[in-house]
Amino acid sequence: MSPEHTETAPNLVERLRHAGLRPTRQRVALANILFSSGHRHVTAESLHDEAVSAGVPVSLATIYNTLHQFTDAKLLSQVVVDATRTYFDTNTNDHHHFYCEDDSSLIDIEGEHIAVSGVPTPPKGSKVDRVDVIVRLRRH
Amino acid sequence: MSPEHTETAPNLVERLRHAGLRPTRQRVALANILFSSGHRHVTAESLHDEAVSAGVPVSLATIYNTLHQFTDAKLLSQVVVDATRTYFDTNTNDHHHFYCEDDSSLIDIEGEHIAVSGVPTPPKGSKVDRVDVIVRLRRH
DNA sequence: ATTTGTGCAAATCGTTTGCATCTGA
DNA sequence: TCAGATGCAAACGATTTGCACAAAT
């Protein structure tokens, strides 16, 4: 078989195992879609469409389960920019986003580029978990 | 009557008028709740509960309408921190937020305190509309 | 064999909408 | 008067859940 067909990327299977997730057919297929080509931003629905188009008929419920499991396992990060849609990002490094309100698209901004200074001390009893910067864009 | 009872703050009526909104019973009552005591963060539901408790039986639909009208009129700003809930903030100045994931609470960080540097040039055809910084907190 | 994942359809949650009724200028 | 607001209930879209079935170890 040509590598394209066998391209189930064995390292993905390992990656799932390390994350404590059984490498099931669906999870491997979704991991393959998500992690095979650079960083990506998806919604549950867009990933579902993509999987179905790719001949992997997963149900939407499984997509949601999988996205959350991957997020818990730190394979994905969740990006909250829009109250109506949840985005997942395959880039789990410290980084930020441009969000274009006109077409609801996300663009990564690598962490090194942006510096946030002057964050006040958090209230007693809490610690900073993460700092999200969203640069909202409009067409002009 | 004591000032507490007459506290329909006539300036609120003016404020609504200036925003092009008819000062109806409900709008004035909600504006009164929102703008009478320092800056506040509310959700549609929390404001609804509060209004009802205060003896102003508005419907939830009207709460949503009003929150959006106030937002369009720049009397409120919308804060997107949580995919499941929409928050509205009576502080419409440039500022940022602490968001405590444990109890879903918001705390303002005044704009002067935080500086964001190194934002890359936005893609051709778009301009920066707003930069949101969310400092996510966890109990430790 | 046992545990864990999956699919489906129904349930849920926050939010929006349609429409008849009311109200402020 | 009459455009604009409101309330209600139904519609909605995204997400979640319950449960019977299927697959992985």
CATH of the domain at A72: 1.10.10.10
**Interchain contact, A137 vs B122, CB within 8 Å:** yes
Residues A74 and A32 in one domain: yes
The number of domains in chain A is 2
Is B6 a residue whose pLDDT tops 50? no
Residues B75 and B116 in one domain: no
pLDDT tens per residue across span B105-140: 999 999 999 999 999 999 999 999 999 999 999 998
**Per-residue pLDDT at A10:** 62
Residues A17 and A46 in one domain: yes
The count of CB pairs under 8 A between chains A and B is 115
Beta carbon of A23 within 7 Å of strand D? yes
What span, in angstroms and rounded, lies between the C-alpha atoms of B27 and B70?
9
Residues B19 and B78 in one domain: yes
Residues A77 and A125 in one domain: no
Residues B13 and B78 in one domain: yes
**Per-residue pLDDT at A11:** 85
Residues B68 and B99 in one domain: no
Please identify which residue in the block is written with the tokens 């990564």. A108
Residues B58 and B101 in one domain: no
Give CA separation, A45 vs A60, A62, A64, B51, in Å.
Answer: 7, 11, 9, 37
What span, in angstroms and rounded, lies between the C-alpha atoms of A66 and A59?
11
- List the single range of A8-17, A48-57, A108-117, A130-139 with lowest mean pLDDT: A8-17
The DSSP secondary-structure symbol of A121 reads: P
What span, in angstroms and rounded, lies between the C-alpha atoms of A9 and A6?
8
Residue at B112 is within a domain = yes
What span, in angstroms and rounded, lies between the C-alpha atoms of A108 and A91?
8
**Per-residue pLDDT at B99:** 97
Is A56 a residue whose pLDDT tops 70? yes
Residue at B3 is within a domain = no
For the residues A29-55, what does the mean pLDDT come to?
95
**Per-residue pLDDT at B18:** 94
For the residues A53-67, what does the mean pLDDT come to?
95
Residue at B66 is within a domain = yes
Residue at A15 is within a domain = yes
Torsion sign (Cα): A67, A70, A71, A72? positive
Nearest one of A19, A78, A114 to B119, comparing CA atoms = A114
Q: Where are the beta strands (DSSP E) in A1-140?
A: 41-42, 77-82, 85-89, 95-100, 105-110, 115-117, 126-139
Is A7 a residue whose pLDDT tops 80? no
Instruction: Band the pLDDT of A31: cuts 50, 70, 90.
Output: very high
Is B7 a residue whose pLDDT tops 50? no
Is A5 a residue whose pLDDT tops 90? no
Residues A66 and A110 in one domain: no
Per the structure, the complete domain to which residue B72 belongs is given by 9-82
Residues A100 and A35 in one domain: no
| Per-window interface: A 58-117 vs B, CB < 8 A | 78, 80-83, 86, 98, 100-102, 107, 109, 113-117
Residues B35 and B59 in one domain: yes
For the residues B20-30, what does the mean pLDDT come to?
96
Residue at A3 is within a domain = no
Instruction: Band the pLDDT of A1: cuts 50, 70, 90.
Output: very low
Instruction: Band the pLDDT of A69: cuts 50, 70, 90.
Output: very high
Residue at B2 is within a domain = no
Q: How far is B137 from chain A (nearest CA, A)?
A: 5
**Interchain contact, A129 vs B136, CB within 8 Å:** yes
Beta carbon of A24 within 7 Å of strand D? yes
**Per-residue pLDDT at B2:** 37
The number of CA neighbours under 13 Å toward the Cβ of B37 is 6
Which is more confidently placed, B24 or B5? B24
pLDDT tens per residue across span B28-68: 999 999 999 899 999 999 999 999 999 999 999 999 999 99
Residue at A106 is within a domain = yes
Residues A75 and A49 in one domain: yes
The first and second tokens of residue B7, run together, are: 């506290």
At a CB cut-off of 8 Å and minimum separation 6, what does B59 contact? none
For the residues A81-103, what does the mean pLDDT come to?
95
**Per-residue pLDDT at B11:** 84
- Judged on CB neighbours under 10 Å (0-12, 13-18, 19+), B77 is middle
Is B9 a residue whose pLDDT tops 60? no
Residue at A29 is within a domain = yes
- Judged on CB neighbours under 10 Å (0-12, 13-18, 19+), A76 is buried
- List the single range of A6-20, A23-37, B69-83 with lowest mean pLDDT: A6-20
